[in-house]
Chains A and B, each alone.
Chain A
Amino acid sequence: MLAAIFVPFLYKSIKNIHTGWFVLAVPATLAIIYASYITRVADGKVFLEELPWIPSLDISVVSYLDGLSLLFSLMITGIGSLVVLYSIFYLDKHKEKLHNFYVYLLLFMTAMLGVVQSDHLITLYFFWELTSISSFLLIGYWYTRDASRFGALKSMMITVGGGLMMLGGFILLYLMGGTYSIRELIVMVPNLVEHPLFTWSLVLILLGAFTKSAQFPFYIWLPDAMEAPTPVSAYLHSATMVKAGIYLVARFTPIFAVSELWIWLVTGVGILTLFWGSFFAVKQTDLKGILAFSTVSQLGLIMSLLGASAVAFHDNGATDTIKFAAFAAIFHLINHATFKGSLFMIAGIVDHETGTRDIRKLGGLMSIMPISFTVAAIGSLSMAGLPPFNGFLSKEMFLTAMLALQNFEFFGFDTWGALFPIIAWIASIFTFIYSFYFVFRTFTGKYTPEKLPHKPHEAPIGMLISPMILAALVVTIFFIPNLVGDTFVKPAVQAIQPFLYDSPKDIDIHVAAWHGEITPELLMTFGIVIVGVLLFVALPKWQGIYQKFPRALTLNNAYDKIMLGLDVGLNRVSRLYMTGSMRHYLLYMFSSIAAIVIGSLFVKDAFTVSFQNTAPINPYEIILVVVLLIGTAITILAKSRLTAIIGLGAVGYTVALFFVIFNAPDLALTQLVIETISVALFLLAFYHLPKLGKREERMRFQLNRAIVSIAVGVMVTLVALSAHSQKLIPTISKYYEETVYSKAGGGNIVNVILVDYRGFDTLFEITVLAIAGMGILAMIKLRMNRKEKTHENK
């Protein structure tokens, strides 16, 4: 992380050495540091360190290193080193903005290490979103291309959306368990299961995992993320970021595995993704597109195995084979990281050397690029699950676990369980087909140099180092699977299934390529090879079916439609009510005020009328009321504005007379004067009307206006009547009457209140007048200035 800060300085200061060399030291050192933990973790130890962040909220950065975290950390740093090495040769020193690239990459690496080592839910989420952001930056690295920006935005929308769901799930977990620590939550599982929020948090956390790990139907961002530079694709979209969801599922398995929903969701979605991804991978014509769909399908495989491993929590010992599931998941995770990383790098090399990734233009590169071909063949055959490569071992275990699923007597597995091996088998056939398709369409067949932008030749040795190392691993793991199994996989399995094993040494699983007898899964593998070869040979005949799928039914189309629909729909909605007309807004405001107030009056049953402590009515007042009503009627019904203004004046003077009747002399005086000036002002404004506005038209009667205004009037009356009928507190004016002479030395109570008791109001009332006067002056003056200016301009 700190290293990321120094990268730009190095880039700027040292021009002639590729910045990547300096960066390479960081993951390599980290990998060595993590490697030193291997033996201790394999003995079942865990390491815990805590760094308080916000102690008052119980938030801290807790680093927890057990088998699962260590495996992921090693994968991140190890493959990270190889990717940095590869990118040194892949990215041009002078053409590219290297400092950006390495800053993002290191940021991503930090975030990813944070995700796998966090024991604290909130910091886990923090690092989770940091991976989303840094991967967004990396996908959009060539930001001048439209496709890059589109892919980056798409991945951002989907993964951040899922991440927010996950945060919700985390918070629910905290509410249930009262602690943010995953370790402590695992211990508390029996208390959590009965909680009503349990299922919600399960679903929300799974949404986060599925979006990040590109499961069905959220896989759509991954193929579009292939616009990133190839090192990024190799690192993020094969080995690390897409495994974050896998990690999450594995980490939370001890908590949620007790639930039937979890098992069905994880296993079902995983197997569906496996089939879907492998089926559509054959359709692709772009090398990275094939690899993207293949990544999706392999992640589905791992996901389904993790789901199956949760079954072991229910049925410990009924069958031994289901224990294989967790082991197989972790084992395949390692294998997938090795061969998929190497394949991505090969795709990048092919792109680099020929200038295209279109499989229809490529062919016959075997003799030109022998090393790349060898690596690609190793990777692909491992992906297809053939011996002597590590994919074979994990495929065998996968089929074993899937077959074992049928043997369960609960959760409906005895009826539906048979589907799993069948779907898995069909998906494996497609996997086989696209693996062969990837290698043989690229490296064998007819060599057509006229289609290629560059004249191809073997890549520089530096670019080949990383894929060669990974391919070597692919073969090595096949021959010594148990070393890997004992050191890495078993501690991780122990972390996933802590209730089954006390220490990694108790796990009695022995990986072997040949068990000495013909097992059903071996027969299935033979079937896969036979059918796969037949279908691959016949590929040109049936590849046409992919064209038959209508574009309208694809998920990408659905995503685009949703995005566009949201955009257009929300615009339409806001256009609907944001008309730009002041009257409409006022209508909304008045009607909602009236509705809310009248509604609450009746809901609360607050409306009362009592005629107690009211004054008697005199004829004078009736006359005045009638006059006032006439005045308002004139104001509202007047044909000309002049009449309306005069009506308003009548209203004002009548109000002044009311003030007289109700013993308010000061008010009456003020009201008379003010009303006079107001009317004068109105007449002034009226006089200045432009000619075209002089059409003396009668106001058009509008029903909705009338309804709303009557409602508002009724509301005011009702509220005022209710308030007046329920006077609870006596007035405080007695104090003023008693002290107005003795303390303030005045006789006019109103005036003394205005300037002595409550002088502040008066001060600012004066300010209001002053500001209004200045505003009016400014408006008139400024207009004169503008007029002069326009004259000058003319």
Chain B
Amino acid sequence: MESLILVLVGVLVAVGTYLILSKQLLRVILGTAVLSHAAHLLILTMGGLKKGNVPLLEESEGPYTDALPQALILTAIVISFAVTAFVLVLGYRAYKTNGSANFDELRGTPDE
């Protein structure tokens, strides 16, 4: 199971990278989102899968599945959401200011 998910994570990373390397700003942001999904799945998988029950004392008996990676992922999800939102608005501003969403057209000024 873990091996399968890890291969899947690899595919997700490859897709995310491919999208990040594209010209369109929106696709780049999509790529970051895909990449963060991959990272969350990776953390979860590395903690071990199906090692036990849901980590809720009232709901189930032990042994429980590892709760620490879940806490980490929860933090990561929220942070990546905040960053994604911010980058999206930034991209939106970039459209408005430069009138283009193409990375090949968004170059620095010559003296930078």
Interface contact B67-A736, CB-CB below 8 Å = yes
Interface contact A678-B81, CB-CB below 8 Å = yes
Main secondary structure on chain B at its contact with chain A?
helix
Q: Which of B30, B91, B102, B104 contacts A648 (CB 8 A)?
A: B30
Q: A530 near B: Cβ within 8 Å?
A: no
Chain A's nearest CB lies how many Å from the CB of B67? 4
Interface contact B14-A712, CB-CB below 8 Å = yes
Residue ID in chain A nearest B21 by CB atoms: A705
Chain A's nearest CB lies how many Å from the CB of B50? 4
Query: Interface with B: A50-58, A101-109, A135-143, A688-696, which one?
Result: A688-696
Cβ of B64: which chain A residues have Cβ within 8 Å of it?
A: 733, 737, 749
Cβ of A769: which chain B residues have Cβ within 8 Å of it?
A: 78, 82
Residue ID in chain B nearest A727 by CB atoms: B48
Q: Which of A582, A635, A666, A768 contacts B82 (CB 8 A)?
A: A768
Interface contact A693-B68, CB-CB below 8 Å = no
CA distance A736 to B52 in the complex (A): 14
Most chain A CB within a 10 A radius of its CB, from B3, B47, B88: B3
- The proximity string for B residues 22-51 relative to A, scoring 1 for CB distances below 8 Å and 0 otherwise, is 111011011001100110111011111111
Interface contact A636-B44, CB-CB below 8 Å = no
Chain B's nearest CB lies how many Å from the CB of A617? 5
CA distance A590 to B18 in the complex (A): 10
Cβ of A674: which chain B residues have Cβ within 8 Å of it?
A: 77-78, 81
Q: Which of B3, B4, B74, B97 contacts A667 (CB 8 A)?
A: B74
Cβ of B58: which chain A residues have Cβ within 8 Å of it?
A: 747
CA distance A705 to B31 in the complex (A): 13
Interface contact A583-B11, CB-CB below 8 Å = no
Chain B's nearest CB lies how many Å from the CB of A352? 46
Given A586-B21, A685-B92, residue A724 in contact with residue B99 (CB < 8 A) = no
- The proximity string for A residues 727-756 relative to B, scoring 1 for CB distances below 8 Å and 0 otherwise, is 000011100110011000001111001100
Interface contact A583-B95, CB-CB below 8 Å = no
Interface contact B18-A636, CB-CB below 8 Å = yes
CA distance A391 to B95 in the complex (A): 81
Cβ of A716: which chain B residues have Cβ within 8 Å of it?
A: 9-10, 13, 38, 42
Number of A-B contacts (CB under 8 A): 273
Cβ of B92: which chain A residues have Cβ within 8 Å of it?
A: 684-685, 688
- The proximity string for A residues 676-706 relative to B, scoring 1 for CB distances below 8 Å and 0 otherwise, is 0110011011101110110000011010011
Q: Which of B2, B7, B56, B93 contacts A779 (CB 8 A)?
A: B93
Q: Which of B18, B23, B75 contacts A706 (CB 8 A)?
A: B18
Chain B's nearest CB lies how many Å from the CB of A702? 8
Given A636-B19, A716-B42, residue A581 in contact with residue B103 (CB < 8 A) = yes
Interface contact A689-B95, CB-CB below 8 Å = yes
Cβ of B40: which chain A residues have Cβ within 8 Å of it?
A: 655, 667, 671
Interface contact A664-B70, CB-CB below 8 Å = yes
Given A635-B34, A655-B37, A662-B44, residue A748 in contact with residue B74 (CB < 8 A) = no
Q: A611 near B: Cβ within 8 Å?
A: yes
Interface contact B33-A583, CB-CB below 8 Å = no
CA distance A705 to B19 in the complex (A): 9
Given A621-B1, A666-B70, A721-B6, residue A748 in contact with residue B55 (CB < 8 A) = yes
Interface contact A611-B29, CB-CB below 8 Å = no
- Count, chain A residues at interface, CB 8 A: 95
- The proximity string for A residues 19-58 relative to B, scoring 1 for CB distances below 8 Å and 0 otherwise, is 0000000000000000000000000000000000000000
Interface contact B84-A678, CB-CB below 8 Å = yes
CA distance A619 to B55 in the complex (A): 24
Given A699-B27, A731-B68, residue A776 in contact with residue B86 (CB < 8 A) = yes
Q: Which of A648, A712, A717 contacts B34 (CB 8 A)?
A: A648
Chain B's nearest CB lies how many Å from the CB of A156? 27
- Count, chain B residues at interface, CB 8 A: 90
Interface contact A583-B1, CB-CB below 8 Å = no
Given A614-B3, A663-B55, A750-B74, residue A628 in contact with residue B8 (CB < 8 A) = yes
Cβ of A688: which chain B residues have Cβ within 8 Å of it?
A: 92, 95-96
Given A609-B3, A616-B1, residue A733 in contact with residue B68 (CB < 8 A) = yes
Residue ID in chain A nearest B26 by CB atoms: A641
Interface contact A682-B49, CB-CB below 8 Å = no
Given A685-B91, A716-B13, A772-B82, residue A583 in contact with residue B56 (CB < 8 A) = no
Query: Interface with B: A62-70, A432-440, A560-568, A757-765, which one?
Result: A757-765
Residue ID in chain A nearest B66 by CB atoms: A733
Given A662-B49, A712-B17, residue A779 in contact with residue B4 (CB < 8 A) = no
Q: A714 near B: Cβ within 8 Å?
A: yes
Q: A547 near B: Cβ within 8 Å?
A: no
Cβ of A16: which chain B residues have Cβ within 8 Å of it?
A: none
CA distance A780 to B70 in the complex (A): 34
CA distance A329 to B96 in the complex (A): 78
Cβ of B23: which chain A residues have Cβ within 8 Å of it?
A: 583, 700
Q: A570 near B: Cβ within 8 Å?
A: no
Interface contact B88-A685, CB-CB below 8 Å = yes
Interface contact B34-A615, CB-CB below 8 Å = no
Given A667-B73, A690-B95, A713-B11, residue A587 in contact with residue B21 (CB < 8 A) = yes
Q: Which of A678, A723, A773 contacts B46 (CB 8 A)?
A: A723
Interface contact A682-B57, CB-CB below 8 Å = no
Chain A's nearest CB lies how many Å from the CB of B68? 5
Q: A370 near B: Cβ within 8 Å?
A: no
Interface contact B29-A682, CB-CB below 8 Å = yes
Interface contact B30-A635, CB-CB below 8 Å = yes
CA distance A769 to B53 in the complex (A): 31
CA distance A665 to B60 in the complex (A): 13
Interface contact A662-B50, CB-CB below 8 Å = yes
Cβ of B47: which chain A residues have Cβ within 8 Å of it?
A: 731
Cβ of B53: which chain A residues have Cβ within 8 Å of it?
A: 663
Chain A's nearest CB lies how many Å from the CB of B69? 9
Chain B's nearest CB lies how many Å from the CB of A619? 12
Q: A558 near B: Cβ within 8 Å?
A: no
- The proximity string for B residues 94-111 relative to A, scoring 1 for CB distances below 8 Å and 0 otherwise, is 011101111110111000
Interface contact B4-A583, CB-CB below 8 Å = no
Most chain A CB within a 10 A radius of its CB, from B38, B45, B47, B74: B74
Interface contact B81-A677, CB-CB below 8 Å = yes
CA distance A678 to B86 in the complex (A): 11
Q: A652 near B: Cβ within 8 Å?
A: yes
Interface contact A682-B20, CB-CB below 8 Å = no
Q: Can you sample 8 A-B contacts with CB below 8 Å?
A: A580-B108, A581-B104, A636-B19, A664-B70, A692-B99, A761-B71, A768-B78, A779-B93
Tell me the B residues contacting A by CB distance below 8 Å: 1-24, 26-27, 29-30, 33-34, 37-38, 40-42, 44-58, 62-68, 70-71, 73-75, 77-79, 81-86, 88-93, 95-97, 99-104, 106-108, 112
Closest 9 CB pairs of A and B: A713-B14, A717-B10, A709-B17, A772-B82, A747-B57, A709-B18, A749-B67, A749-B55, A615-B1
User: In the complex, given contacts A662-B65, A674-B77, what are 14 additional A-B residue pairs having Cβ atoms less than 8 angstroms apart?
Assistant: A581-B104, A615-B49, A615-B51, A629-B11, A651-B34, A663-B54, A678-B84, A685-B89, A692-B100, A702-B21, A708-B21, A709-B18, A741-B57, A753-B71
